[in-house]
Amino acid sequence: MLRILPPLLQGLEITVALTAIALVGAALGGLVVVAGRRSRFMPVRAVTIAFIDVMRNTPVLVQIFILYFGVPEIGLYPEPFTCGVIALVLQNSAYAGEIYRAGIDSVNRTQTEAALSLGMLPRRALFDIVLPQAIRRVLPVLGTQAVVILKDSSIASTIAVVELTHSGKLLLDRSAAPYETFFMVAMLYLATAAFLLGAMKLLALRFPVRT
Amino acid sequence: MTLASLRYMGTGAGVTIMLAVAVILLSSVLGMGLALVRLYAWPPLRALAAAYALVTRGVPLLVLLIGSYFSLPYLGITLPVYPAAVVVMGLYFAAYMGEVFRGAIMAVPRTQWDAGRSVGFRAIQTFGTVILPQARRLCVAPFLNTALSIVKNTSLVSAIGGWELVTAGREIGERTGDLMPTYLGVALGYYLICFPLARAATFVERKSHA
């Protein structure tokens, strides 16, 4: 059973790379989304809401297929890994944006009022008072979303990104030990998910919620 | 896109909906049982249920689908795709539904239990008459969100060879060569199926906050 570990670990490397890049991308993209969602301009808000709607209602698989099979028709030929990253970032930016929005809205309005009554500009009130409190509240939820990204990275295996699931599938065809192979794959995913959640929890401990 | 293609995709969408409904039903039933076990059963069983929930939330659905479906021939069993997929997805989402129901039951204020006892109800009576109806109201929003996730995850059945909307789209796309419009059509199909669910979920969320 240990002989199948090396190729699986190579796949895990790709999975971790995919997840890490998508995590950062979604975390940043979520900022763009929440900014657009809370914008004063109706067109910007409308476009953002439409974007979130589309991302929430279409599966990641379809998005990856559109990028990988559809985009070549306009001349660009993205690599499978890139398609996976872009699809994961787009989908999870929408979710991250909504998470940020919930976090910001959960900070009591009195905080904003207090800041404004002290003479702060609205933007300063947002960045110095509301956002730090909001970030502390959303860290656990972001941890859950990170695990979701990890699990969705397995969908990239359908367009031949040789990550963990794909490596497992290849090994399955070659070896005659399906149970061991997928048991190892499942264990590796669990271990990575546990690691991700643990890292997020450590981060949340460093920035506790002080109500 | 030709009319025949649209009708083909329509059939695929129908299969998607049927798969989703089957999985939602199965996972709800199993999830309710799981929630009750985690809340009220003998402690070792509760630990088992908690471990089950943890495992199914840490492993991707695709891995479970591929692993279980492609391992079956080695056991000598050849199950058709749809039942196998529904069973695996039902078991997988039972953990999510279990969390939804468990959260709803736990969210009912403790005082309700005391109120039931003070009126003379036994525990089971309190649960059925006082707690459950309140929990039912609380669980609608996360239930709808999980149902939405289930609909989207039926797309993975195409990865183990099942025929549904995505597979239909791929067949049409490969036959006509227009992959982009076809997959955009598939996306539109999912959007149309999911839109009512998402709307309902947002509506319920807003109602419980106002």
What's the pLDDT tens digit per position in A34-68? Answer: 888 888 888 999 999 999 999 989 999 999 988 88
Cβ atoms of residues A11 and A163 within 8 Å: yes
Confidence of residue B27 (pLDDT cuts 50, 70, 90): very high
Confidence of residue B51 (pLDDT cuts 50, 70, 90): confident
CB contact under 8 A, B59 and A57: no
- In chain A the first and final C-alpha atoms are separated, in Å, by 50
pLDDT in the model for residue A203: 84
Q: Which residues of B touch A150 (CB under 8 A)?
A: 60
Among all residues of chain A, which has the CA nearest to that of B72?
A178
Residue B176 scores a pLDDT above 60: yes
pLDDT over 90 percentage in chain A? 26
Residue B122 scores a pLDDT above 90: no
CB contact under 8 A, B183 and A66: yes
Return the structure tokens found at A103. Answer: 């976090």
How many CB atoms within 10 Å of residue B44? 8
The pTM assigned to this predicted structure is 0.87
pLDDT in the model for residue A131: 80
Q: Which residues of B touch A54 (CB under 8 A)?
A: 187, 191
Q: Lowest mean pLDDT: which of A114-128, A150-164, B29-43?
A: A114-128
CB contact under 8 A, B66 and A194: no
Cβ atoms of residues A80 and A156 within 8 Å: yes
Q: Which residues of A touch B61 (CB under 8 A)?
A: 151
B residues 123-162 near A, CB within 8 Å?
148, 152-153, 155-156, 158-159
Average pLDDT of the residues of chain A: 86
pLDDT in the model for residue B210: 54
Confidence of residue B23 (pLDDT cuts 50, 70, 90): very high
Of A158, A176, A189, the CB nearest to B58: A189
Of B60, B178, B186, the CB nearest to A62: B186
Residue B1 scores a pLDDT above 60: no
CA distance B150 to chain A (A): 10
Query: The complex's ipTM?
Result: 0.85
More confident residue, A79 or B27: B27
CB contact under 8 A, B67 and A147: no
Q: Lowest mean pLDDT: which of A191-200, B53-62, B199-208?
A: B199-208
Q: Lowest mean pLDDT: which of A121-125, A141-145, B33-37?
A: A121-125
Cβ atoms of residues B165 and B16 within 8 Å: yes
pLDDT in the model for residue A168: 84
Return the structure tokens found at B54. Answer: 């943890």
| Per-residue pLDDT tens over the stretch A151-204 | 999 998 888 888 888 888 888 777 767 777 888 888 889 999 999 888 888 888
Q: Does B203 contact A at CB distance below 8 Å? A: no
Residues whose CB is less than 8 angstroms from the CB of residue A141 and which lie 6 or more positions away in sequence, other chains included: A99, A102, A103
Q: Provide the 3-class DSSP secondary structure of residue A211.
A: coil
Average pLDDT of the residues of chain B: 87
pLDDT in the model for residue B30: 93
* Spatial separation of the C-alpha atoms in residues A131 and B43, rounded to whole Å: 41
CA distance B131 to chain A (A): 27
Cβ atoms of residues A98 and A52 within 8 Å: yes
Nearest to B17 by CA among B143, B170, B147: B147
* Residue B108 DSSP one-character state: S
Please give the full DSSP string across A57-118, using - where no structure is assigned. HS-HHHHHHIIIIIGGGGT----HHHHHHHHHHHHHHHHHHHHHHHHHHHS-HHHHHHHHHT
Confidence of residue A1 (pLDDT cuts 50, 70, 90): low
Please give the full DSSP string across B59-104, using - where no structure is assigned. S-HHHHHHHHHHHHHHHT----HHHHHHHHHHHHHHHHHHHHHHHH
